[in-house]
A = this chain, B = another copy of it.
Amino acid sequence: MSRAITSLANPTVKAARALHMRKAREESGRFLAEGLKIVTEAVELGRAPRILLYSAEAGAHPLARRARAATEAAGGEAIEVGRDILAKISRRDNPQTVLAVFDQAFTPLSALDPAAAPCWVALEAVRDPGNLGTIVRTADAAGSGGVILVGDCCDPYSVEAVRATMGSVFAVKIARASVAEFLAWRAAWPGSVVGTLLTATTDFRAAAYTPPSLILMGNEQAGLTPDLAAACDVTVKIPMRGRADSLNLAVATGVMIYAATKG
Docked CA distance A97–B137 (Å): 35
Given A238-B258, A254-B254, A258-B238, A244–B171 Cβ distance below 8 Å? yes
Among A134, A251, A252, which residue has the most Cβ atoms of chain B within 10 A? A251
Cβ of A250 under 8 Å from chain B? yes
Whether A138 contacts B243 in the complex (CB less than 8 A), given A238-B258, A252-B254, A258-B255, comes out as: no
The CA of A45 and the CA of B243, in the complex, are separated in Å by 10
Q: Answer yes or no: A210 CB below 8 A from chain B CBs.
A: no
CA distance A238 to B245 in the complex (A): 26
Copies in the complex: 2
Contacting chain B: which of A19-27, A103-111, A140-148, A227-235? A140-148
Inter-chain CA distance A130–B245, complex, in Å, is 18
Chain B CB within 10 Å, residue with most, of A139, A171, A250, A261: A250
Q: What residues of B have a CB within 8 angstroms of the CB of A255 in the complex?
A: 254-255, 258
Contacts of A144 in B (CB 8 A): 242
Instruction: Verify A134–B242 contact, CB threshold 8 A.
Output: no
Whole-angstrom distance between the Cβ of A240 and the nearest chain B Cβ: 5
Tell whether, in the assembled complex, residue A172 and residue B242 are in contact, meaning their CB atoms are under 8 Å apart: yes
Residue pair A242, B205 in contact (C-beta under 8 Å): no
Q: Give the chain B neighbours of A248 by CB distance below 8 A.
A: 134, 137-138, 164, 250, 254
Within 8 Å CB of A258, what residues of B?
238, 255
Which residue of A238, A245, A248 has the most chain B CB atoms within 10 A of its CB atom? A248
